[in-house]
Structure 1
Amino acid sequence: MSTETILKAAEAAREAIAANESEIEHLDRAIGDGDHYINIKRGAETIIALAPDLADKAPGEAMKAIAMKLMSTIGGASGPLIASFFLAASKTEGIDEPWTAATVARLTRDGVEAIKKRGKADLGHKTMLDVLIPVAAALEDGAASGEAGDALAERVVATAEAGKDSTRDLTAHYGRAAFLGERAIGTVDPGAMSSFIIIRAICGATR
């Protein structure tokens, strides 16, 4: 996998975010801070705008450049978290070598751990991590067992969907949803929804 593929994934994410605007914004208006859709859309567009500068860079260098740009251009809770993911992934072992399923698993794990550290959240806190943590585990399991291609992509999407759905029955620990308490139960977390939508789009675009 190359920097070209990273940009292809970013374009797929941007299209998926735009296509699901109403669903993401509905959830954010219900229990979020009201700026989630705007911030993730801006993040995807920022990465695409960097394409001419990133095309000739190695994946690690490209991911670091993406992280630095996201840190300076995206507000809200999402910006620093997504930037932390890219910065950690840029340092993953083997990032500039030909990518395998194990490489993708390692960079996802490293990125997710960075989000956990930055946001001080974990599984069960009704956040994007309820999608990202299980997806990272699914990728590691698939890489270890030799699963690859369409089968692994389908399992990752199914795992992401299950993680997203799990947030419906959780109380939140962070943001406006935390102040709602039990009133947030019954509504899917907007960050979990957007994470699922992005993961599904990337899996479809990079098979």
Structure 2
Amino acid sequence: MATQTLNTLNPNQVKEMFLYVGEKVVESKPLLTKIDSAIGDGDHGIGMSVGFTKAEESLKATEFTTVNDVFKTIGMSMISSMGGASGVIFGTMFVGGIKGVEPKDTLDLASLSEIYQKALDAIKQRGKAELGDKTMIDAFQPAVEALKASAAANESLVDGLRKAETAAIEGVEATKDYIAKFGRAKSLGERAIGHQDAGATTVSIIFKTMKEWVEGQENE
């Protein structure tokens, strides 16, 4: 079957992509709960499920003319429904990236890397975590750097997402070696070593499923 390269997404395609992402994150609730129960409060999977379920409701109820509004709707849905630090941080992953950005009627690899770089900066400013602190940053920052490198090399959207997924997965693996600086895991000290971070795992699922959606569209 011939494949066609999909390098630019319109707002409806971005909406459909994130509906798929949300569905897969919700399906991952048992995995995320298990990971978080080892060193955290055990509620990360529940929180992400609540946040993405609310985002799904909001996305399905709205027709979008800009990519910015898709991101804003997801982020605000998560912040309003999840509460707590996770809601703010993962909400900022979506709303932080489009703050002050001109309305976009398409999303390509360059604009996605720009949005997620701004989101990364906003999350760091808000949460004060850095690479190596055993948080979602450990997956998100390498993924963003991979997106930017792929965009600079004029690679396709799906290739950029594949590399971002790989970078995120490597980031999750790296969290097993870190001592946590935030959350309940912080009190465990070296006992948290050997366990991966739940937030970083969620980030890797987000990039994996974005890639899967674009691949699926190209293979239709």
Counterpart contact for 1:7–1:47, Cα < 8 Å = no
Find the counterpart in structure 2 of residue 180 from structure 1: 188
Q: For 2:176, what is the secondary structure of its paired residue? A: helix
Given the two structures, how large is their TM-score scaled by the length of structure 2?
0.87
Counterpart contact for 1:5–1:206, Cα < 8 Å = no
Find the counterpart in structure 1 of residue 167 from structure 2: 159
Distance 2:120 2:99 in 1: 13
Distance 1:135 1:145 in 2: 15
Counterpart of 1:204, as a letter, is E
Please tell me whether residue 190 in structure 1 is matched to residue 198 in structure 2.
yes
Post-superposition shift, 1:95? Answer: 4.7
Q: For 2:37, what is the secondary structure of its paired residue? A: helix
Find the counterpart in structure 2 of residue 16 from structure 1: 24
Distance 1:196 1:98 in 2: 24
Find the counterpart in structure 2 of residue 74 from structure 1: 82
Unaligned runs of 5+ in 2: 1-8, 216-220
Counterpart contact for 2:178–2:193, Cα < 8 Å = yes
Post-superposition shift, 1:113? Answer: 1.1
Unaligned runs of 5+ in 1: none
Counterpart of 2:145, as a letter, is A
Distance 1:155 1:120 in 2: 26
Distance 1:66 1:161 in 2: 23
Find the counterpart in structure 2 of residue 143 from structure 1: 151
Q: For 2:84, what is the secondary structure of its paired residue? A: coil
Counterpart of 1:91, as a letter, is K
Post-superposition shift, 1:137? Answer: 0.6
Counterpart contact for 2:132–2:178, Cα < 8 Å = yes
The structure 1 segments of at least 4 consecutive aligned residues displaced by more than 4 Å after TM superposition are: none
**1:28-72 alpha-carbon deviations (Å, 9 max, x no partner):** 111112211111111111111012443234222333333333322
Post-superposition shift, 1:78? Answer: 1.1
Post-superposition shift, 1:94? Answer: 5.0
Find the counterpart in structure 1 of residue 4 from structure 2: none
Please tell me whether residue 48 in structure 1 is matched to residue 56 in structure 2.
yes
Given the two structures, how large is their TM-score scaled by the length of structure 1?
0.92
Distance 1:88 1:100 in 2: 18
Counterpart contact for 2:136–2:199, Cα < 8 Å = yes
Counterpart of 1:168, as a letter, is K
**What is the aligned length?**
207
Q: Return closer, same or farther for 1:92/1:100 CA change in 2, 3 Å cut-off.
A: farther
Counterpart contact for 1:92–1:106, Cα < 8 Å = no
Counterpart contact for 2:158–2:214, Cα < 8 Å = no
Q: Return closer, same or farther for 1:69/1:154 CA change in 2, 3 Å cut-off.
A: closer
Identity %: 30
Distance 1:155 1:173 in 2: 27
